[in-house]
Chains A and B, each alone.
Chain A
């Protein structure tokens, strides 16, 4: 149980275009989803937290107009990188948790590698 999927696993896009990444909880209702960014050989940096049906809460320094997060259902959250640039190239990972679960019960997706050319 507690499986989280991401799609696509790898995407290449041209500079200036937008790309959408999906995060799905396959076997539980995810009331909260998190989006992380990870640069090579670096740690996971939290970008934003989204609760189902509410606006996402962004971490300091993360541009909300550039990284659009939607959490419209209990099984799906999307991250849209708008007007992508090469510096947005990174590994994006989502995680999901259900209501009342502890911080250790945050289940991670396999990640999406974004390359902007």
Chain B
């Protein structure tokens, strides 16, 4: 079993839709939860991070962490074609710098 599981998709939705991306994990020591966006043949860029459980909102993006269920989500509201990319979740435990990535979900927003 992988430490972090993420549905690879691909996921295709119309412009303006609400997108939900999810990851599950098995390591209860994870404390930091990150979401990255990666465009084709580019390095990942950090979208949001959350420490421990709870919600965090940044513009059209909302990250949720449910440590009891070992489940994290990223919601994108009013999705735009420019949001088309691969979205990767990543996690790390307290004091560590190593990131464990999910497989990534390929998202396409259709105009």
Footprint of B on A, CB under 8 Å?
Answer: 4, 6, 32, 34, 41-46, 49, 91, 93, 95, 97, 102-104, 106, 108-111, 113
**A-B contact list, 24 entries, CB within 8 Å:** A34-B99, A41-B104, A43-B6, A43-B101, A43-B102, A43-B103, A43-B104, A44-B88, A44-B99, A44-B101, A45-B101, A46-B100, A93-B44, A97-B97, A102-B32, A103-B96, A103-B97, A103-B98, A106-B99, A108-B36, A110-B43, A111-B41, A111-B42, A111-B43
Chain A interface main SS type: strand
A95, A102, A103, A106 — which one has the most chain B CB atoms within 10 A of its CB? A103
Q: Is the CB of B102 within 8 A of A108?
A: no
Least Cβ–Cβ distance between A84 and chain B, in angstroms: 20
B46 CB–A CB distance under 8 Å: yes
Closest residue of B by beta carbon distance from A113: B41
Closest residue of B by beta carbon distance from A102: B32
Chain B residues contacting A104 (CB-CB under 8 Å) are: 32, 34, 46, 49, 92
Closest 6 CB pairs of A and B: A103-B92, A104-B49, A108-B43, A43-B101, A43-B103, A44-B101
Instruction: Kindly state the separation between the CA atoms of A41 and B7 in the bound complex, as whole angstroms.
Output: 12
Chain B residues contacting A111 (CB-CB under 8 Å) are: 41-43
Q: Is the CB of A41 within 8 A of B97?
A: no
Q: Is the CB of A41 within 8 A of B43?
A: no
Chain B residues contacting A103 (CB-CB under 8 Å) are: 32, 34, 92, 96-99
B72-111 near A? 1/0 per residue, CB < 8 Å: 0000000000000000100010001111111110100000
Closest residue of B by beta carbon distance from A2: B46
User: Contacts A42-B103, A43-B101 given: A110-B42 contact, CB under 8 Å?
Assistant: yes
* Inter-chain contact total with CB atoms closer than 8 Å: 59
Least Cβ–Cβ distance between B95 and chain A, in angstroms: 9
Footprint of A on B, CB under 8 Å?
Answer: 6, 8, 32, 34, 36, 41-46, 49, 88, 92, 96-104, 106
Instruction: Kindly state the separation between the CA atoms of A46 and B44 in the bound complex, as whole angstroms.
Output: 14
Chain A residues contacting B106 (CB-CB under 8 Å) are: 41
Q: Is the CB of B8 within 8 A of A41?
A: yes
Instruction: Kindly state the separation between the CA atoms of A91 and B42 in the bound complex, as whole angstroms.
Output: 9
